[in-house]
Amino acid sequence: MSIELNKNTIEFIRLRCRSLVDDKSWPYFTLLGQAIGSILLILEAMYRCNGSAVFIEWQIRWDTRSLIQYTDMVSRVEHRYENVTNSQAIASSKLLSRGKLFYYKALIRAYTSCLKVCDVNMANSSWTANHLRKLIKRDVKIVYPPCDTVALREFPLGGRQKTILCVAQFRPEKAHATQIEALKELQESNSVHKNAKLILLGSARNQDDLKRVETLKALAKSLGVESNVQFIVNASFDDLLYNLSTASIGINTMIDEHFGINVVEYMAAGLIPLAHASAGPLLDIIVDYNGERTGYHGHDVKDFAQRIDEIFSLDSNKDLEMRQRARNSVVERLSDKKFNEDFLQVLP
């Protein structure tokens, strides 16, 4: 938004091994396949960088998100809970569950060994850092990701529409269905919100994501809230900025979001944030500022509906005060400048 780039100093190189880190290439033993694929991908990138002095790999691989959630993943497998990362076929089989536990533990040992050879270990949130500390038994520095808030903080705080905005890719873990169901619960519990609108704005990476959008549309129709839910797929940057400048609530229902950069953007843009009570949004982002609240957390559909009702029912002065606190909080703590300072400070 406020970043200026010199096109003469930037070169994009398409990597031929990119498909090797796609989960579609590894329908079984996905973590192991992506681990091998990431090694080959990085070797290709380094070879094609022609001996550049600095190489930054910013792609989350080995399904690192899953490995950092190791404790939670093992618990789900041990208790044989069906989940996005634990299919019904495995959850229903004692033998397969035991095999998967062995597989996870072998991978995590290899992953931990890699982390231990690093001179400095950094994490992007308290939740992630705590998981890594348990694995490697050493200190992990927390460096929050940079968020360009310069343009967002110019948006007006007042005059907001009765709209709930979700900015997220249409991936299963983003739990968009929870938001649609919460909207239905909101309208059933309080008819004054019958005109409230939910906007789902995000990118679709592939055909699976597009199918997911159609499934969500069908859900909205079956719940009778079709006219209150708007989908903006692969939105333009202008569409994103417009909705951030006009919506009232910014919602994120993903469980265990490592950080949650979209929540930071909500707050900088003047929205009141509502996120799942876990990981980054709980511990690092939607936290008190000068001893006062900057947003809300929820656990389930009913919880989210109640929080939305509470936000829409705020007194106008309290509403504006919370929006201002939320903005001040992230501008002070999570800016590009703060990232640069913190990053350089932890380097050896």
> pLDDT value at position 324?
98
Do 162 and 41 share a structural domain? no
How many domains is the chain built from? 2
Task: Examine residue 170 and state whether it is found in any structural domain, yes or no.
Answer: yes
Both 14 and 158 in one domain: the answer is: no
Give me the mean pLDDT over the 295-309 stretch.
Answer: 97
Instruction: Give the pLDDT of residue 61.
Output: 45
Give CA–CA dist 47/34, Å, rounded.
20
272 and 158 in a common domain? yes
Tell me if 161 sits within 8 A of 246, measured CB to CB. yes
Range of lowest pLDDT (5-14, 127-136, 137-146)? 5-14
Q: Where among 62, 78, 108 does a domain terminate? A: 62
pLDDT in the model for residue 128: 87
Average pLDDT over residues 168-187: 96
pLDDT of residue 63: 46
Residue 264 lies in a domain: yes
Same domain, 282 and 175: yes
178 inside domain: yes
Q: Containing domain of residue 3, as a range?
A: 1-62
Query: 210 near 231, Cβ under 8 Å?
Result: no
Q: Are 54 and 192 within one domain? A: no
Examine residue 272 and state whether it is found in any structural domain, yes or no.
Answer: yes
Same domain, 180 and 305: yes
Per the domain annotation, does 76 fall within a domain?
A: no
Q: Is residue 303 domain-shared with residue 173, that is, in the same domain?
A: yes
The reported pLDDT for the residue numbered 64 is 47
Encode the chain in three state secondary structure: CCCCCCHHHCCCCCCHHHHHHCHHHCCCCHHHHHHHHHHHHHHHHHHHCCCCCCCCCCCCCCCHHHHHCHHHHHHHHHCCCCECCECHHHHCCHHHHHHHHHHHHHHHHHHHHHHHCCCCCEECCHHHHHHHHHHHCCCCEECCCCECCCCHHHCCCCCCCCEEEEECCCCHHHCHHHHHHHHHHHHHHCHHHCCCEEEEEECCCCHHHHHHHHHHHHHHHHCCCHHHEEEEECCCHHHHHHHHHHCCEEEECCCCCCCCHHHHHHHHHCCEEEEECCHHHHHHHCCCECCECCCEEECCHHHHHHHHHHHHCCCHHHHHHHHHHHHHHHHHHCEHHHHHHHHHHHCC
Q: Say which CATH number the domain at 326 has.
A: 3.40.50.2000
Average pLDDT over residues 156-174: 95
Q: Which of 62, 95, 113 is the last residue of a domain?
A: 62
Indicate whether 166 and 310 sit together in one domain: yes
Tell me, yes or no, whether 347 lies in a domain: no
Better pLDDT: 134 or 89: 134
Least confident span in 78-82, 119-123, 290-294: 78-82
The mean per-residue pLDDT over the stretch 70-91 comes to: 62
Q: In 3D, which of 168, 193, 173 has the Cα closest to residue 183?
A: 193
Regarding predicted confidence, which is higher, 56 or 207?
207
Q: Is residue 118 part of a domain?
A: no
Query: pLDDT by residue (tens digit) across 265-299?
Result: 999 999 999 999 999 999 999 999 999 999 999 99
Which residues is 83 bridged to in the sheet?
86
Confidence at residue 272, expressed as pLDDT on a 0 to 100 scale: 98
Q: Is residue 159 part of a domain?
A: yes
